Amino acid sequence: MKDMQTHLEKLRVEAEECELISKLATNQTKKELFAKLAAHHRALAAEVEKAMGESRPG
């Protein structure tokens, strides 16, 4: 579970970094690319979070 938490945090950080790059980029193609990457990392984080919730005893 600790590995999943670490991976989740990494995905969230990468999403934030991609979003920042997207906002700072002057090239429209790069803006769009990094915005898509941010969204993708957030979706992956949501999937990891969901899997963590499903694997908890309860």
The pLDDT assigned to 48 comes to 94
Here the tokens at position 12 are 């969230």
**Angle, CA of 33, 49 and 19, to the nearest 5°:** 25
Whole-number pLDDT of residue 20: 98
The CA-based angle 30-32-37, given to 5 degrees, is 90
pLDDT at 58: 57
Model confidence pLDDT, tens digit, residues 3-52: 989 999 999 999 999 999 999 999 999 999 999 999 999 999 999 999 99
Q: Report the C-alpha gap between 13 and 38 in whole angstroms.
A: 10
Collapse the DSSP code of 25 into the 3-class scheme (helix H, G, I; strand E, B; otherwise coil) and give the result: coil
